[in-house]
Structure formats: structure tokens, C-alpha cells
Amino acid sequence: MSQQSNTKQVTNVELLAMKQRGEKIASLTAYDASFAHILDHAGVDMVLVGDSLGMVVQGQASTVPVTVDEMAYHSKIVARGLTRALLVTDMPFMSYSNINAAVTNAAKLMQQGHAQMVKLEGGQKVIECVKHIVDQGIPVCGHLGLLPQSVNQLGGYRVQGTSEAQAQLIIEDAKCLQQAGASAIVLECVPAALAKKITAAVNIPIIGIGAGIACDGQVLVSYDMLDITVGKRPKFSKNFMLEAGNISDAVSAYVNAVKSKQFPAAEHSF
């Protein structure tokens, strides 16, 4: 579905409604106005200004060096390319290390970055930050499973929730985020069976990346699915440029594949 046939603004309330009626949510990252316009026109529901920009735009080894000012800048210019999609902006490393910092930096991303929702990583450890951000009227998206900002602690980019104890903790984290007022959760690199349990355990949308087909929606780094990322593409991604003549067609193919439940396939899951 292109922007021409549906120009209704997507909100956090609409994401919830999409989950309730079983409509898959299609999400991609963007870092500038031109990409944002293409994604918006192709029918992407949620555009994420990810701190992944540290790696795919800045050439950093991880997301850790990205600053709040950099996130606000990229969020602001992405906002100029959107008319329909919900704009979600990552809170970068150490920007929510305490409640005051969390609220201040979330407000900055909303005021200067024109974000409509902020995303932060972690479960029960960040619950108080989530509560206080939500109390200020700022929608929050959680992020569980593989946490890129904690990659040094995790020992690398690896699948999470493979043991029963790990799996149960992630399920509890999801329930706690919902109770704290989160509007959605990104679930990264967990077994598909676990993702299915989490999606059923909470009422808010679960947006998967390397988490199987049962999630309420999917998100990918746009550079990965367009095959312009330097280095190895993640297992959970797919090169949508292979059968597309241009970027717009590739994005439309991704949206259609998510909506029709053709992506992710088994080879993109754990």
C-alpha cells in the first residue's frame, strides 16, 4: 500500500490497533530526508532513526560512540521527509543512565529531533526511566533481546534467549515494559519460538528483527536490505535489491513481503 492510497498519519495508537486486527507493521531505518521520503511513499508504517547510523553512516565499529546531538540532527532531517510514517528515534548509549538524563534527553529528541516516540534498550533495569519519560507525555518503544549498546558486555552480536532462564527473563522484561507504559517493543535476535511467546504475552506491538514471523511487525536496517552495508549482511536480513530495479521498488517489495507474511522466512530466523 503506497502513501497515495493511505495518507492517514500512523500513531502509537494506530500501531496498537494494527496488532489487534492482525495487520503486520512494516518498519525500516532512515538517516536523512531523501531516504525518509522513499520509505514513507512506499508505505512503511514506522521509520526508525537508529543509532545504527554510527556503524552504517559514520563507519564506527559499534553504536556506542553516537551522541544525543547526532541523533537529534538525523531525526530532525528524517522528519522533513515524512508525512505518514511514525518517527521513532533511538536514545543512544548512556543517554538514559539515570532518570533525569533520560527525561532531558528524550525531551531533546522530541523538541529538536521532532521524534514522535523514543526507543531505549533494556528491560527491568530501565523501567523507572521508561515510567518517567511516559509520565511526561513522551511515547516509548522498548528494545529487548540483543542490545547493540551492550555488545561489549554481551561478548558480541549473538542470539539471546537460548536458555530457559534467559527466555523467561526476556518475557518478564516485556511484561514490565508494557506495565511501565511502553507503546511497543523491538525484539532483536531471539529464537522464533520465544518471539511468538512474547508477542502473545503482551498487548503492545512486538517489532521483530531476527525474531521470526510471529512478531506483530518487522524492522530492518535499510542499508542491509538494500545491500549497501559494508561487510557481511546479517542472517536475518534479505537483499531486496536483487529483484528490484531501484530503491523505491525494493522498499515496496519489503513492505509487501512483511504485510503478506512472506518475510521473514525460515532462513532469516533463529
CA dist 180 to 33, 41, 84, 122, 123, Å?
32, 33, 27, 13, 10
φ and ψ of 98, to 5 deg: -150, 170
Task: Identify the DSSP state of 122.
Answer: B
Whether the bond into 264 is cis, omega within 30 of 0: yes
Inter-residue contact 34 to 226 (CB < 8 Å): no
Inter-residue contact 50 to 32 (CB < 8 Å): no
Distance CA 27, CA 107 (A): 23
CA dist 225 to 184, 239, 243, Å?
23, 5, 12
Inter-residue contact 116 to 84 (CB < 8 Å): no
Pinpoint the alpha helices (H) of the chain. 12-20, 33-41, 53-56, 68-79, 99-111, 127-135, 151-154, 164-180, 192-201, 222-225, 247-259
Q: Read off the C-alpha cell for 187.
A: 525484539
Distance CA 68, CA 264 (A): 32
Distance CA 47, CA 241 (A): 19
Residues with active-site annotation? 188
